[in-house]
Structure 1
Amino acid sequence: MSQNPPLQSCFVAGTDTGVGKTHISAALLHWCALQGWASAGLKPVAAGTTLVNGKAVNDDVQALQAASSIDLSDAEVGPFQFEAACAPHIAAQLEGKTIEREHVMAATHALMARAEITVVEGVGGFCVPLNDTWDTADFAQELGLPVVLVVGMRLGCLSHALLTAEAVRARGLALAGWVGNVIDPDMPHLVANLATLRQEMQRRHQAPCLGSVPWMSQPTPALIAAHFDAAALHAVLAPGRPLKAMGS
C-alpha cells in the first residue's frame, strides 16, 4: 500500500519583533488544518503575560494553541513563558530563572513527536539571546527546519529582510520562502517594495514569496491564509503530496 511522503515542519522567523510572526504562524496552522493534517503550533520561549481570570497567559501562545488542529495544553504550546514583555533572557532573569538549551530542545521535540507538522515560532528577530551562550539562531540551527521568513512591510524592510535572509543561510539553514506582511497601512511604494523583495529573494536565495498579506485591522488566521500562495506553500510543507483545494 502506498504511503504519503512525510510532511515538513518549519521554523517561522521574523525580520524584527512586531512584524506579525504569530499571525502568520497561526494562519499557516489554519491552512494545514484545511489540508487535513495534524498540526501543532509551538512557541518554546514567550515573553509577556497578562492575568486572565487569575491565570497568566501569553497572547501568542493562546493564538497558536487555538489554531492548532490537535488538542494541546497551554504548557505544550508555550513551555517557557515569562511575565515581562522584553528580551527573553532578561525576562527570565527578572524571575530568577535561566532558559536552558536542553530543556527547550526536549520540550520542542516532545511536541513535534505529537503532530504530523509543527510550526515553530521564534522570538523577536532571527537572532535573540536566550541565555549567555545560546540564542534563537542557534536554536533554529539545531532544529534544522526550513525557515519561513516573515517580512514586516514598512520603511526599512528591504535591508531587514535581505540581512536576515543572509543570516539564515549563514547558519546552513534552508530559506524555504518568505511572507510579506503589511504592518504599516500607509507604507509608501508598497507594490514596488514587494516587487524588489520578490526579485532579490529569488535571485540571492532562490526563496519564493509564500504570500503577500495586506494590512488588516482585525486579522484572523482564515483571512490571512486566503492571501497565501497555495502552490508555493504546498511545495514547502508537503512536497510529493496532493494539494487539497481550499474550501473543498
Structure 2
Amino acid sequence: MHAYFVTGTDTDAGKTVITTGLMAAARRRGLTVAGGKPVASGCERAPQGWRNADALAIQAQCHPALPYEAVNPFAFEPAIAPHIAAHEAGVALDIPRLAAPMRTLLERGADLTLIEGAGGWRVPLNERESIPELAVALQIPVVLVVGVRLGAINHARLTLEAIRRDGVRVAGWVANTLEPDTPRLEENLEALTHWLGGQGGVPCLGVVPWLASPDAETAADFLDLEPLLNDPA
C-alpha cells in the first residue's frame, strides 16, 4: 500500500490533473486505486447535493468505485478559500473532522491512495490550522505539483522548504506546464530539476506538457509511478 498527499505550488497548478493522471497510470498496471479530496470549494448543486468537478474527476479514477462522500466529505458552493466558504456555510472545519474520513479511505488499503489538498501548501482551514496539519495528521508523504510558468522556480523552492520545515517528506515532484508558449521552458525545467531533484534530492515523476484539454489518461502518458511504488514508505 502506498499513500501520498498531493499539494501544489499554487491554486491552479494542476493538482487534479496530476492526481488523476497518477491514478490512471496505476490503473493501467492493474492496481487498486483510491483518491480523496477532503474539502472542495467551487461546487454545483446536483440532485444528491453539492458536487465539485475536481472531486468527481478523482472519484471517476477510483478502482474499485467509491461513493462521492467518501472522496469529498466537505463540499461548498463558492469558488473561494475553503475556510471562508466553510464559515459562510456555517460549517466548522478542523483537522479531526477532515482527517477522519481520509483515514477511513486509507484503511481501505488500496495499492495507491492519493489525497489532494486545496490550493497551495499554506492554505488555511480555520483561524488556527492549515493544510500542513492535515498532511501531518495523516502521516503520509507529499507529491508536489509544480505549475510551470513565470515564477515557478521560486514558488517550487519555497514550497519544498515549507513542507520540509513542517516535518513532512516530499516523495516526488511533477512539472505541469500551464502555458502553451512558456518562455525558456527547457531552461526552467533544468533549474527545477537542479533545485528540487539535484540539491533537493526529490525524484521527478514526470514533465507534463501544456495540454489544451487536460485529462487523466493523457497526463498518465507523461508520468512515472516507479519512484512512488518503490518508495520505502
Question: TM-score normalised by the shorter chain: which range applies?
Answer: over 0.9
Aligned residue identity for 2:227: A
Instruction: Work out whether residues 29 and 69 of structure 1, in 8 Å CA contact, stay in contact via their aligned partners in 2.
Output: no
CA contact (8 A) 2:4 2:140 kept: yes
Q: Residue deviations 1:118-138, cap 9 Å, x none?
A: 101010001111012111011
Identity %: 40
In the superposition, the TM-score normalised over structure 2's length comes to: 0.95
Structure 2 portions without partners, runs of 5+:
none
State the secondary structure of the residue aligned to 2:92: coil
The answer to whether 1:234 aligns with 2:226 is yes
Alignment of 1:86-105 (within 5 A): 86-105=80-99
Return the index of the structure with the highest Cα Rg: 1
Tell whether 2:155 aligns with 1:163.
no
Decide whether the 8 Å contact of 1:44 with 1:78 is kept in 2. Answer: yes
In 2, distance between residues paired with 1:54 and 1:66? 16
1:135 to 130, 134, 138: 130
The one-character-per-residue Cα deviations of 1:170-225 (angstroms, maximum 9, x if unpaired) are: 11111111100011112100110001100111233201211000111111211101
The residue correspondences of 1:1-248 to structure 2 (distance < 5 A) are 7-52=1-46, 55-116=49-110, 117-228=112-223, 230=224, 233-239=225-231
CA shift at 1:239, angstroms?
4.3
Letter in 2 for 1:128: V
Gaps of 5+ in 1: 1-6, 241-248
Q: Do the aligned partners of 1:31 and 1:225 also contact (CA within 8 Å) in 2? A: yes
Supply the distance in 1 between the matched residues of 2:203 and 2:48 (Cα, whole angstroms): 44
Give the Cα separation in 2 of the matches to 1:63 and 1:115.
21
Q: Secondary structure at the match of 1:26?
A: helix
* Cα deviation code 1:117-161 (max 9, x no counterpart): 210101000111101211101111222212110000100000000
List structure 1 segments (4+ residues) > 3 angstroms apart after TM superposition.
52-55
2:140 and 2:214 mapped to 1: Cα distance? 27
- The Cα offsets for residues 32-86 of structure 1, whole Å up to 9 and x where unpaired, read as 1112221111000111101346742100110000011111111110011111111
Q: Which amino acid aligns with 1:236?
A: L
Q: Distance in 2 between matches of 1:168 and 1:51?
A: 34
